[in-house]
Structure 1
Amino acid sequence: MILKHTIDRIFEATDIVEVIGEFVTLKKRGANYIGLSPFANEKTPSFTVSPAKGIFKDFSSGIGGSAVTFLMEHEKFSYPEALKWLAKKYGIEVEETVDAPEDREAENHRESLLIVTGYASKFFEKSLWDTDDGKAIGLSYYKERGFTDATIRKFELGYSPDQWEAFSSQAIKDGYKQEYLEETGLSVKRENGTLYDRWRGRVMFPIHSFTGRVIAFGGRTLKNDKTVPKYVNSPESEIYHKSNVLYGLHFAKKAIRDQDNCYLVEGYADVISVHQSGIENVVASSGTSLTVEQIRLIGRLTKNITILYDGDAAGIKASLRGLDLILEEGLNVKVVLFPDGHDPDSYVRLLGSTGFKNYIEQNKKDFILYKTDILLKEAGNDPIRKSEVIREVVESIAKIPDSIKASVFLKECSHILDIEERSLISELNKMRAAKGKKEYQQQQNRASRETPPEDYYEAAPPAEAAILEKAEPYESQEKEIVRLLVTYGGQLINWDDIANTYIGPFMIASLSDVAFEHPVYKEFVDIYHQEVEKGSLPDEAFFINHSDKKVADVVITMLLSQYTLSPNWYDMHKITTSDETKNMKATILTAIFHLKKQKVSAILRDLQKQLQATKIPEEEEILLSQFQHMKKVQKTITDYLGIVITE
């Protein structure tokens, strides 16, 4: 058995386009990639891959799933064999064990840590909104930064009371184990064994995982004492590895996909202010140097990064070499520098949303050209320093895997550096040759250490064909409920009459009196309900990789469409398409009431048949009473939907 944390690492590292691209020729179309089905003989492409969601769907054969599913179907691998193939490709050590009680305990342990951090986030939020100190100190600070109530709630910002044990004592009282409070860094143990709060008197910034669960915190002091660190962050833990996390990514991922660009800033406030201005495709490395893992997280959503610098010349120079990592991963990098004394947070508040966007568009530069300008100005007329600049610039260009793009930059830089292009090409070739030789030697060394592959896994049973049962009368309404749960279940509700709950649990609770007819949709809703009861919100990945193949296939089919709307659709036909996200309350409630209307109509038809068939006055009276009650229920539903039922 491969350990779950190893499987998680494999899935996080896997680029589905890169994997499937080894077997299928893919072409980009919008946010997705298409190609000819490798499972069916076809001339028109029906095979679709979504890099953002990490899934594929072959509309010819009906096969769909993750990169692991593809390898199992195409290469006839077992599940463990597919995982090991991916692990080898991405250099991940496979940890294996037997399925023992301690392994299940380890998984429970990780979930416990996530539950504790989720509890802490709610505690800090409640402290912010419901206590005098929270409102006077924490909320006032956020308001001074220009954050609106909606923004504060969206990012789940909070306040930790300025008391030694306010959080720790309450958590223990509520039944949370001391060991989990310590391990997540929420509490610190004294020598006498008691706990005290790590973040006392600080405003709290929860850090979310890619799927939206709170995994850590950053706390900012509001005191002017220079001996007190400005920010205190969560220590590394089983659920939090800062090199693998980007602040704000959970809130930005859809916008990054839609805009095909990611704005990278430095701090929490930068992300929140820029996001609030309407530029939602923004994330931060939270003060740490950008890591390869963080770059790959962005690379799963877009190949374009725009770095927003705060104008600190020393900081810019220090970060230049590190940004070569982005080029090495094949991403396009642009840079925007703000005036001295300004960062993205302060500048967006100064200029406003429109002015800020215009400034970015007018001042963004390609990273290579920007780096060349910066280093040349520093070198001045010193010929030795200038030669070092040339070498540094060529080193950056050598990181670019696309040879055509590298050639364009060489030509541009030859003009800026006032040096012949062929000299730069010669230097570039030397660097690439040296790099190739080094990589070859490393590959040979790895090969000499490899042992023969183990072959003791039992072959996995062949994948079942995901054939849906014959459509029932309620199928379209039930399908719509499932689609909304998959698409929006993890979004926070902030309606006038309902707030601080998620769409998924709200829908499940609202449909507690409805029995689903379609077997696969019923199974989906039952699974969703079970997860909500556990305190978990199942996301796309949960269902994509679910053990029930029929459920997984339904979700994949909903997430991927064989067709995409042409960007010229409106210009050609003057037909607009509706945006269901503009009024989420109407979207969700309409779907719920349409399904309930169908169910009520069926009950009324059944009661009518029973009334016609009965000859017993007592039964007729009971049935008539039930019929009248259901008619009232129907009237309530149709009044909301604006439908007039003909009597």
Structure 2
Amino acid sequence: MISRTTIDNVFESARVEEVIGDFVQLKKSGSNFKGLSPFSDERTPSFMVSPVKQIWKDFSSGKGGNVVAFLMEHEHFTYPEAIKYLAKKYGVEIEETEQTNEQKEQADERESLYLVSEFAKNYFHNTLLKTEPGKAIGLSYFKERGFTDETIKKFELGYSLDQWEAFTAHAIQKGYKLEYLEKTGLSIVKEEKQFDRFKGRVMFPILSMSGRTLGFGGRILTSDKKAAKYLNSPESDIYHKSKVLYGIYQAKQSIAKEDNCYLVEGYTDVIQFNQTGIHNVVSSSGTALTSEQIRLVNRLTKNITVLFDGDAAGLRASLRGVDLILEQGMNVKICTFPEGEDPDSFAKNNSLEELTIYLEEKAQDFISFKASLLASDAKNDPIKKADTIREIMVSISKIPDVIKREVYIKECSRIMDISEEVLFNSLAQMLQKDKKDASRKTTTKQEAFQVIPSEKQNVKKVDALYELERKIIELLLLYGKEEEEFEDLILETNEKGEIAFKPETVKAKVFEKVYLDLQDDEIEFANDDFKALYFEIINKLNAEEPFQIETFINELQSDKASSVTDILMDEERYVLHDWEGKEIYVKEKKHTISQMVSETILNLRRYLVAQKINELSEEIKKQDADKREHSLQDIVDYITLKKVLSEKLNRVL
């Protein structure tokens, strides 16, 4: 168990914008930050972070909460793991008792897979550095590659002994279940035998963006032609090779800082670049680039530079990945190395200055690179040249930004010596075809799940009472301790015997005004969640110490904290649309606090009065003549009251 003191210290130290900034590229937007949602595929920012309130909200998925909630949603941490991650990041000492074997067994399956993977990473690393075979074989190999002790430690490189079950037996002895060793792919189980998958290989741990161990890559050091040179962990609940990038954990901050990401193919390419001094580099680990991998980078930067080997046989096939990057609305450059060189060897044989200059000078815009590559094949063959232009236009058609498309068409026209008009016509045809294909797919799906609409479609009505109660919670959270002048209403009968309100100015704190008004009218919340929240907020505001929203949220249960976040961040939604950039200026709520409070309470009273009128109207149908007359008088009185409230509300508005 982690002590309460540790948890409080973590929340005091952690900054939500800094933590989320490690995973999502955030840009200043007024007093907040905004960025692309890490939970959905989007090109327009709908993700908002509030440093003042220390909360975040993703309007595309509906998720939100504090800094711990983000780590639990994004990294699938448990609550204790999120606290530990933040404690490590901010240097907070953790007070807790050590986990017993029994507690390890009680952890859920997904968590068990993470625990096993973390154990394996440490085991392989220690084997490399502290055993004779590890030093003689694994460490010697890494030293031959030119890796320093610091680099080996940074990437936590390891070695798996060339024995059938050295790791498996050791893990079981330490209390880890064979079931989870098999599910992570670390051990292979056949009938009654089990053995190590990565036997006799140097190990490259594959980490998530937050540093959790997901899987491994292992390179064999013998010349066994039957065994694969590189072997990756199989797919599991925690490792999906199409969704991870090797080196992203070490590179994320540098990618955001440099506003560019270098994409290479192999593990050693990443490591050698890092050792030379270029840290914003990741690898697709030898697999074909996927949309999910590109989106990982897209959260940190809009710019990718793809690095290819000088003699890459599959260079043309690799260009498919470039089209995927363009589809994500990102900017792509391509750089190739001299023949016989790859990123690993070139970085090893050159200084940081030489490597930096080479990358700056040789990186080409994708269209220039693709044109030169394909044009060399076409030469003087008109048909091949037409095919080349068509291939370039396919790439341009993937770009979602209209302005960028036009710029690239002009560039293609210049390089390939063809008129812009022809290229624009070709683009229009491609876009029209893509639109028809997409429409056809949508139609097919709709036909599969066709629903025959009724003659009168039921339109979902706004729940006025829900919205009013939600508004009261929002006002208390944002302005509960603010002191304002309110125009109080004293109900009285004038000389003509008519019901009227006499205005009277009073000075009070917002939470006092709300509480007394609701109590005077004997109004209770209809929504149970809001009711519970209301009393928690009132009690907190009534205490002598200052009311801090971030502290209050951190003390709430997760479901209540999520509700509070939804309420607080809803008012920030308009910031995403950049109204001020369009010369539309939204009036800040803090300028009309008393007006908002009065308006909300009056609306609530009017709603409840209208509800009472409806109830009496239904009851009167079932009553006899004597009771009916009395109920009619009640209805008249309530209608008069509703009219007075409406007049007062119009005055407030």
TM over 0.5: yes
- Using the alignment, how far apart are the partners of 2:359 and 2:114 within structure 1? 38
- Cα contact 1:546–1:552 (8 A) shared by 2: no
**1:430 to 1:69, Cα distance in 2 relative to 1, 3 A:** closer
Deviation at 1:523, TM superposition (A): 9.7
Q: How big is the shift at 1:72?
A: 7.6
Alpha-carbon shift at residue 251 of structure 1 (Å): 1.2
Tell me which residue corresponds to 1:299: 298
Which structure 2 residues correspond to residues 308-457 of structure 1 after superposition, within 5 A?
308-450=307-449
Cα gap change, 1:372 to 1:435, in 2 (>3 Å): same
Give the equivalent residue in structure 2 for 1:118: 118
Partner of 2:34: 49
Gap change, CA 1:521 and 1:292, over 3 Å in 2: closer
Contact 1:182/1:189 (CA < 8 Å) preserved in 2? yes
Render the CA deviation track for 1:215-268: whole Å, top value 9, x for unaligned: 100000111233321111111111111101111111111111111111000000
Query: Could you tell me which residue of structure 2 aligns to residue 566 of structure 1?
Result: none
What CA distance in whole angstroms lies between the structure 1 residues aligned with 2:396 and 2:417? Answer: 17
Q: 1:53–1:393: structure 2 CA closer, same or farther, 3 Å change rule?
A: closer
Deviations 1:354-403 (Å, cap 9, x if unpaired)?
11111000100011211011000011111111111111111111111111
What pairs with 1:462-477 in structure 2 (closer than 5 Å)? none
Q: Per the alignment, in what secondary structure is the counterpart of residue 294 of structure 2? A: helix
Q: Distance in 2 between matches of 1:400 and 1:328?
A: 5
**Partners of 1:183 and 1:381 in 2: how far apart?**
56
- State whether structure 2 residue 121 is matched by structure 1 residue 109: no
Name the amino acid aligned to 1:143. Answer: K
Q: Does the 8 A contact of 1:307 with 1:336 survive in 2?
A: yes
1:331-354 deviation per Cα after TM superposition (whole angstroms, max 9, x unaligned): 110001001111111101111211
1:312 to partner: Cα distance: 2.4
Shift in CA distance, 546/302, structure 1 to aligned 2, threshold 3 Å: farther
Q: Determine whether 1:185 maps to 2:185.
A: yes
Query: Contact 1:266–1:285 (CA<8 Å) still a contact in 2?
Result: yes
SS where residue 396 of structure 1 aligns? helix
Q: In structure 1, what is the equivalent of residue 58 of structure 2?
A: 67
In 2: Cα distance, 1:307 partner to 1:242 partner: 19
CA contact (8 A) 2:181 2:187 kept: yes
Aligned to 1:32: 26
Cα offset for 1:549?
A: 3.1
Q: Hey, what's the Cα distance between the residues in 2 that align with 1:186 and 1:524?
A: 41
SS of equivalent residue, structure 2 residue 300: coil
Q: Which amino acid aligns with 1:549?
A: A
Structure 2 CA distance for partners of 1:286 and 1:449, relative to 1, 3 Å? same
Report what 1:251 is aligned to.
250
User: 1:228 maps to which residue?
Assistant: 227
How far apart are residue 467 of structure 1 and its match?
A: 7.2
Which 5+ residue runs of structure 2 have no aligned equivalent? 1-23, 40-46, 74-104, 482-545, 573-653
Q: Given the superposition, is the C-alpha separation of residues 150 and 190 from structure 1 closer, same or farther in structure 2, using an over 3 Å criterion?
A: same
CA distance in 2, matches of 1:63, 1:201: 48
From the superposition, tell whether residues 552 and 149 of structure 1 become closer, same or farther in structure 2 (CA, over 3 Å): farther
TM-score between the two structures when normalised by the length of structure 1: 0.59
1:171-216, CA deviations, whole angstroms, 9 ceiling, x for partnerless residues?
Answer: 111111111111111011133x121111111100000112211110
Contact 2:323 2:395 in 1 (8 A): yes
Aligned to 2:102: none
CA RMSD across the alignment: 3.8
CA distance in 2, matches of 1:521, 1:407: 47
**C-alpha contact 1:52 1:257 (8 A) present in aligned 2:** no
State the structure with more CA Rg. 2
Secondary structure (helix, strand or coil) at the match of 2:33 reads strand
Cα 1:154–1:425 change in 2 (3 A) is: same
**Paired amino acid for 1:311:** G
User: Deviation per CA, 1:40-75, whole angstroms, max 9, x where unpaired?
Assistant: xxxxx3342144988523578x484130599489xx
Instruction: Tell me if the contact between 1:185 and 1:234 (Cα under 8 Å) persists in the aligned partners.
Output: yes
1:299/1:331 contact within 8 Å kept: yes
Unaligned runs of 5+ in 1: 1-29, 36-44, 74-78, 84-104, 471-516, 528-542, 561-647
Partner residue of 1:540?
Answer: none
- Cα 1:439–1:346 shift into 2, 3 Å: same
Contact 2:37 2:60 in 1 (8 A): no
Task: Deviation per CA, 1:421-463: give whole Å up to 9, x if none.
Answer: 11111111110111112222223333444578999xx999959
1:33 positional shift = 3.5
The amino acid of 1:405's aligned partner reads K
Contact 1:151–1:276 (Cα < 8 Å) also in 2: yes
